A and B are shown apart, each in its own frame.
Chain A
Amino acid sequence: MTGSKRQQLIISGVGGQGVIFLTRLLAETAIRKGKSVFTSETHGMAQRGGTVISHLKVGGFSSPLIRPFKADGLLALRMHGLDQHGVYLKPDSWAIVNHLKHDTSEPDRPVFAIGADRIAQKIDNLRSVNLIVLGFAMAVILKNVDNPFFCSLKDIKAVLESQMGHKQKMLNASLTALETGYDVGMKAKF
C-alpha cells in the first residue's frame, strides 16, 4: 500500500460550497498524522459562485499543484467537476461526485455518486454538502478501492472536534453531516 504514504487529491465545486473548508480540514488531518502537506486554493472573484478547485498533496512534495494524470482521487461537489477536472486523475484512481445519478461509464476508474444536496436538506443543514460528500467518500473508498485514503473517519472527527470544540452546535451539525454521508456510503450497493 505505497499509495497511503503519498496521496494527491483534487477537490472541486463552486464558490460558497465549502471547498476551501474541506481542503483545510484534510490538510489539518494530514499534519495530525505526522505527514507533510501542500494545498493550493482558489480565492478572489471566482469565490462568488464560480468554479473553484483545490489541490491537496499529502506526503513529501515540493510543488503545491497536481499535474494532469497524477491525482489519486477527485471529490466533485458539483457534477461538472468530473468533466472539467477529471483530466487530473491517473488511470487507477477514483472519483466521488455530488449528483443524484451517475450514468457515465468511466472505463478507467470507478465513479461513485451521492445526491448530497437532497441529503443536506433532509438533515436541515444546507451548508453541509461538503462534509456529506467527504463522509460518503471515506466509506466507499474503504469498501471499493485498494489504495486507501490517507486518513480515517476517526482522524477527521478528531480534527473537527479540536477545531470546533468551543462551538458545540456547529460541531454536532458537522459530525452529523459527516456521519450521514458515511452511512450512505456504507449502505450503498457498490
Chain B
Amino acid sequence: MKRVSKSKRQLMLGNEAIARGLVENGCSIATSYPGTPASEILSTFAAMQKQHMESVHIEWSVNEKVAFEISYTGSITGLRTAVSMKQVGLNVASDPLMSAAYLGVKGGFVVISADDPGPHSSQTEQDSRLMAMMAKVPVLDPDSPAQAKEMVRMAFELSERFEIPVMLRPTTRVCHARQDVPLADIHPPKRDVDFQKDPTRWAATPKFRYHLHEALEKKLESITRFNKTAPFLLNSGVDAPKAIVASGVAAAHTREILQDLNLWNVIPMYQVLQPYPLHAEFIAKLTNSYDDILVIEETTGVIEMQLADRHAVKGKLNQWVPAVGELLPEQIQQLVSEFAGVDTEYIDLPSASGVRPTLCAGCPHRAAFFAIKQATPKGVYTSDIGCYTLGMNLGAVDTVLCMGAAISQAAGFHHAYKNDKKQPDIISTIGDSTFFHAGIPPLIDAVVHKVGFVLVILDNRTTAMTGNQPTPGVGKGARGEALETVDIETLVRGCGVKFCRSGDPYQLKEFTSLVKEAITYSKGKGPAVVISKHPCLIDRTHKKIYDHPYVRLTVTDSCDGCSYCIDHFECPALVLDEAEERVNIDAVLCNGCGVCEHVCPKNSIQEYE
C-alpha cells in the first residue's frame, strides 16, 4: 500500500478529486462516455492508473448504456467498479439503471452522474437525483471537490453493505471547482473475480422480479436508517424555531452566507448528504422541532418532496425557491435574508451578453457547413450534439434534440413533408463520436424506410467538444494504448446505405459538388452519406498524420467590406474594419486552412505572394 502523509493536500478539480477517490478505494473497472461537466473523471482516473495497466480496466465506451452495463457486470463478479457520465448520458443508460437496481450488486458499484444546473453545457437541467428516486437507488450529493472524494468512499461502502448501485451526483460547480483536497492512502484494486451463478437473480424473470422489487424496498428502508450518510447539524448547539436544510453546492454557498450575515449562531443549518432516500429519523425531527423550514437544493425539490408534512416547509414546490436555473449564491443570500427576516442588499446581475462561442478558425466543420449551404441554401438542416452545434452561427443548423437525433429528425421531416407540394432538401450533420454513440439505429431505420436525405458525418477523428477523447474510429484507449478501430464507411455500408462517399471539406469546390451529388441521389433512392474527413485542429495527436500546409492568405485592395465572408463563413480570423470598409485577416487567429480563398465572391482573398 502506498502511504501518503495525512497532511498532504493537492489542488484538484472536482472531477480529479472523484477520480482520486476511485483510485484510493480500489476501483477495478471504470467506464464513461465524455460529456461536460463529467469528462475529466475518466481521463484523470486513466492518468492516475498508468502504472496499473494490467489490473485495471478503463475505457471510453461507445455510449453511456454500454459503459454502464460493462461496469455493472464487473461489480456482480465482486469487483469495485464505477461508471461516469453527464446527466443526459444517464438518460441513455436509464434502461440498465432501472433493472440493475432490482438485481443489485456484489462489489461496490458507483454511478456518477454530473448535473448541470444553469444549464451551462447541456440540453436540460434535469436532476439525476430524481432518476435515482425513480430507479430506487440511494444518491449522494457532494458540496465540494473534497466532499466528492469522500463520498466515493461512502458510496462504495453503502453499495457493498446493501448490495445496491449507489449514485454520486456532483454538479458543474463541484466538477469544475478546484480546491486543495486532502489525499488519503491508496488501496490497490481487489483482484479475485468470482461470479456466483444465480439465474433467479442475474437473469430474473418477471415472477422473480416481483420478489427482487420487494427486497429492494427493504434495502431502501434500511438505508433510511444508515447512520453514516445521515443529515447532520452543521452549527451544533444552535437552536431556533426555524431551520435551513441544504445539500450539494447550495449547502456550501449557504454556509458561507450564514456566516457573512452573522446568522451562523442564530439559525440551525442541516446538510443532507444523501437526498434520497431521506433518513426517516431526520424527517421526523424536522417536522417535530421546527415551525419554519427552508430547503435549498438543486435542481428539483427532491429532499422537499420527501417531507410529507409540508405545512412548515418553504422550497421549490411552493415557489419560495426558484425552480429554474442554477441557485447562485446571490440568490441564496436573498432567500436566507428573507427567511431570517434581516435586510440585505438587493443584487440584480445584468444579463450577460458577452462573446458567443464559435467554431475555431480553420475548423473543418466550418468548411463543411459552408459547402452544405452552397449546395442547398434553403434546405432543412438537422444537427446533433457536439462542437458542430455551432454551425448554427452559419445558419446551417435548424434542429438539435439529443444524441443521434440528427438522423431520426431527418426521417421525421421526410415523412412529414411526404405529401406536401414541395419536398425540401434535408441535410443532417453529425460528428463521428456522436454517430458511433447513437447514430447507427436511426440510420438503419432510414435505410429501411427509404428516407430521402443526406447525412454528412463530420469525421474529425475525435470527441472534440469535451476535450478530445478518442472515438472507436481512432483505435486508441483512454490511456493512449493501441486498440482496434471501426471504419465508418464500412459501418455505413453495413447499415445498408448504397451511396457513401468521402471528401475533405478543405477542398471546398469538390466537397460542395459531392454534397450536391448526394442530394440528387437521395431523391427517391434513400439515404446518401458523405463522410467529411479532416481532423480536429486542436487535437494534437493528429498533427503528424495530417500535415496540411499552412496557406498564407491576404485580403487584396479590391475588398469593399461587403462582409459576405463574415456573415456566411463566420471565421473569427476574418475581421471587418468598418472605418476602412475592408476585411482583414487576424494573423494570430488564422490557422492557414486556406478555405476562405474560395469564399469571397469577389476573389479578394488571395494567396500571399
* Given A41-B178, A62-B256, A80 and B354 contact (CB-CB distance below 8 Å): yes
Q: Is there a chain B Cβ closer than 8 Å to A100's Cβ?
A: no
Cα–Cα, bound, A84→B349 (Å): 9
A 38-90 contacts with B by CB, 8 A: 38-51, 61-69, 78, 80, 84, 87
Which of B192-200, B356-364, B469-477, B598-606 is near enough to bind chain A?
B356-364
Q: What 1/0 mask marks residues of chain A from 1 to 20 whose CB sits below 8 Å from any chain B CB? A: 00000000000001100000
The listed residue (A37, A43, A51) touching B354 by CB distance below 8 A is: A51
Q: Which residue of B lies closest to A14 (CB)?
A: B355
Cα–Cα, bound, A78→B255 (Å): 33
Which of B53-61, B152-160, B299-307, B326-334 is near enough to bind chain A?
B326-334
**B178 close to A46 (CB less than 8 A):** no
The listed residue (A14, A46, A64, A87) touching B249 by CB distance below 8 A is: A64
Q: Is there a chain A Cβ closer than 8 Å to B501's Cβ?
A: no
Q: Is there a chain A Cβ closer than 8 Å to B4's Cβ?
A: no
Q: Is there a chain A Cβ closer than 8 Å to B341's Cβ?
A: no
Q: Is there a chain B Cβ closer than 8 Å to A164's Cβ?
A: no
* Given A45-B390, A46-B120, A67-B333, A80 and B179 contact (CB-CB distance below 8 Å): no
A 102-153 contacts with B by CB, 8 A: 117, 121, 126
- Give the residues in chain B near A62, CB-CB below 8 Å: 143-144, 252-253, 255-256
Q: Is there a chain B Cβ closer than 8 Å to A31's Cβ?
A: yes
* Given A41-B176, A44-B121, A64-B177, A69 and B347 contact (CB-CB distance below 8 Å): yes
Cα–Cα, bound, A51→B356 (Å): 7
Cα–Cα, bound, A24→B354 (Å): 23
- Give the residues in chain A near B349, CB-CB below 8 Å: 68, 87
Cα–Cα, bound, A64→B572 (Å): 32
- Give the residues in chain B near A38, CB-CB below 8 Å: 144, 177-179
Q: Is there a chain A Cβ closer than 8 Å to B345's Cβ?
A: yes
**B356 close to A50 (CB less than 8 A):** yes
User: Size class of A's contact patch?
Assistant: 35 or more
The listed residue (B333, B352, B389) touching A45 by CB distance below 8 A is: B389
Q: How far is the CB of A83 from chain B (nearest CB, A)?
A: 9
Q: How far is the CB of B388 from chain A (nearest CB, A)?
A: 11
**A68 close to B249 (CB less than 8 A):** no
**B329 close to A42 (CB less than 8 A):** no
Q: What 1/0 mask marks residues of chain B from 157 to 189 whose CB sits below 8 Å from any chain A CB? A: 000000000000000011011111000000000
Cα–Cα, bound, A126→B361 (Å): 15
- Give the residues in chain A near B328, CB-CB below 8 Å: 65, 67
- Give the residues in chain A near B37, CB-CB below 8 Å: 43-44
- Give the residues in chain A near B176, CB-CB below 8 Å: 40-43
The listed residue (A28, A42, A51, A63) touching B253 by CB distance below 8 A is: A63
- Give the residues in chain B near A176, CB-CB below 8 Å: none
**B329 close to A67 (CB less than 8 A):** yes
Q: Is there a chain B Cβ closer than 8 Å to A177's Cβ?
A: no
Q: Is there a chain A Cβ closer than 8 Å to B229's Cβ?
A: no
Cα–Cα, bound, A50→B352 (Å): 12
* Given A28-B11, A31-B180, A84-B352, A46 and B255 contact (CB-CB distance below 8 Å): no
Q: How far is the CB of A64 from chain B (nearest CB, A)?
A: 4
**A64 close to B144 (CB less than 8 A):** yes
**B180 close to A63 (CB less than 8 A):** no
- Give the residues in chain B near A51, CB-CB below 8 Å: 352, 354-355
- Give the residues in chain A near B389, CB-CB below 8 Å: 45
B 7-55 contacts with A by CB, 8 A: 9-11, 13, 36-37
Cα–Cα, bound, A80→B253 (Å): 27
Q: Which residue of A lies closest to B328 (CB)?
A: A65
- Give the residues in chain A near B143, CB-CB below 8 Å: 62
Q: Is there a chain B Cβ closer than 8 Å to A96's Cβ?
A: no
Cα–Cα, bound, A66→B174 (Å): 14
**A69 close to B345 (CB less than 8 A):** yes
The listed residue (B350, B355, B466) touching A49 by CB distance below 8 A is: B355
Q: Which residue of A lies closest to B13 (CB)?
A: A41
- Give the residues in chain A near B121, CB-CB below 8 Å: 43-46
- Give the residues in chain B near A50, CB-CB below 8 Å: 354-358
- Give the residues in chain B near A184, CB-CB below 8 Å: none
The listed residue (A37, A61, A117) touching B178 by CB distance below 8 A is: A37
Cα–Cα, bound, A119→B212 (Å): 68
Cα–Cα, bound, A44→B385 (Å): 12
B 338-396 contacts with A by CB, 8 A: 345, 347, 349-350, 352-360, 387, 389-390
* Given A44-B121, A45-B390, A45-B465, A65 and B178 contact (CB-CB distance below 8 Å): no
**A84 close to B390 (CB less than 8 A):** no
**B253 close to A84 (CB less than 8 A):** no
Q: Is there a chain A Cβ closer than 8 Å to B588's Cβ?
A: yes
Q: How far is the CB of B322 from chain A (nearest CB, A)?
A: 16
* Given A37-B11, A51-B352, A44 and B253 contact (CB-CB distance below 8 Å): no
Cα–Cα, bound, A157→B9 (Å): 21
Cα–Cα, bound, A7→B249 (Å): 20
- Give the residues in chain B near A64, CB-CB below 8 Å: 144, 173-174, 177, 179, 249, 252
Q: Which residue of A lies closest to B9 (CB)?
A: A31
**B11 close to A65 (CB less than 8 A):** no
Q: How far is the CB of A13 from chain B (nearest CB, A)?
A: 10
Interface centre among A38, A44, A50 (most CB of B within 10 A): A44
- Give the residues in chain A near B256, CB-CB below 8 Å: 61-63
Cα–Cα, bound, A134→B497 (Å): 55
**A68 close to B36 (CB less than 8 A):** no
Q: How far is the CB of B178 from chain A (nearest CB, A)?
A: 4
Cα–Cα, bound, A37→B13 (Å): 12
Cα–Cα, bound, A171→B498 (Å): 54
Interface centre among A36, A67, A117 (most CB of B within 10 A): A67
Cα–Cα, bound, A45→B467 (Å): 10
Q: How far is the CB of B40 from chain A (nearest CB, A)?
A: 8
Q: What 1/0 mask marks residues of chain B from 454 to 475 whose CB sits below 8 Å from any chain A CB? A: 0000000000011000000000
Q: How far is the CB of B222 from chain A (nearest CB, A)?
A: 32
**B252 close to A48 (CB less than 8 A):** no
- Give the residues in chain B near A24, CB-CB below 8 Å: 11, 178
Q: Which residue of B lies closest to A68 (CB)?
A: B347
Q: Which residue of A lies closest to B40 (CB)?
A: A43
**A39 close to B177 (CB less than 8 A):** yes
**A48 close to B330 (CB less than 8 A):** no
- Give the residues in chain B near A44, CB-CB below 8 Å: 36-37, 120-121, 465-466
What 3 A-B pairs have minimum CB-CB distances, sorted nearest first? A44-B121, A51-B354, A50-B357
26 sample A-B contacts, Cβ–Cβ < 8 Å, listed by A number: A31-B9, A31-B11, A38-B144, A38-B179, A39-B177, A40-B173, A40-B177, A40-B178, A42-B120, A44-B466, A45-B36, A48-B360, A49-B360, A51-B354, A63-B249, A63-B252, A63-B329, A64-B174, A64-B179, A64-B252, A67-B257, A67-B347, A68-B330, A80-B355, A87-B349, A126-B588
17 other A-B residue contacts (CB within 8 Å) besides A49-B358, A69-B345: A27-B178, A28-B11, A37-B11, A37-B180, A40-B177, A44-B36, A45-B36, A48-B387, A49-B357, A49-B572, A62-B144, A64-B174, A64-B179, A64-B252, A67-B330, A69-B347, A84-B350
